[in-house]
Homo-oligomer: A and B are copies of this chain.
Amino acid sequence: MELKRISRAMPYRGKVFDLIVDEVEYPSGATGIREIAHHPGGAAVVPITDGNDVVLIEQLRYPFANRLLELPAGKLAPGEDPAVAGARELQEETGLVAARLEKLLSIYTTPGFCDEVIHLFLATGLSISSRGTAREEGESSMTVHRFPLEKALAMIGTGEIRDAKTIIGLTAAQQQLHQSRSSS
């Protein structure tokens, strides 16, 4: 590491993330601070139906005071396998279960100040869960939408889809589906 940590403070422990503030020393001997929004990481799922539709959720995102279209996703529990978390969030948010879950990518959402990693999965062989959905308080107004994958990809260009994990997941899923269809 090119920076030496001199001290660490955690001025806030949150529900979604903790705030870490480190004092660091540069190679020059000067000192500075580094702020980290410390997040447990998450899993997000691109659910694709046999008819090549994608299932997205629409929910209020408080930082933007707006409803956004996103992949089903959620935080990892401590030590949780990301694929298990992805399957759980898919079921809880959409009421669907997937016969197949394939890893796509792991991404860093905003690595300048946040250690969040999101693990992205392609979910196929979808069926309706006997358990239905199970949403948390604050997710009660979540709605489920279904779009042809091509339409969802076009909604990136129009700005109707702006969430980074969703943009990356849709693009990677299309590539993955294209490759597996070409090779079969």
Please list the residues of chain A having a beta carbon within 8 angstroms of any beta carbon in chain B.
Answer: 1-3, 11-12, 14-17, 19, 21-22, 24, 26-28, 30, 32-39, 60-65, 68, 70, 105-116, 137-138, 140-141, 156-157, 159, 162-165, 167-168, 171
> Which B residues touch A68, using CB under 8 A?
108, 111
Q: How far is the CA of A171 from the CA of B22 in the complex (A)?
A: 34
Contact B11 A37 (CB under 8 A): no
> Which B residues touch A38, using CB under 8 A?
63
Known: A28-B137, A110-B116. 9 other contacts (CB 8 A): A12-B19, A26-B137, A37-B37, A64-B115, A105-B162, A106-B159, A107-B163, A108-B162, A168-B168
Q: List 20 A-B contacts (CB under 8 A).
A: A2-B60, A12-B21, A15-B33, A16-B35, A16-B112, A17-B37, A26-B140, A36-B62, A37-B37, A37-B114, A61-B112, A63-B111, A70-B111, A105-B156, A107-B163, A107-B167, A109-B110, A109-B164, A111-B163, A171-B171
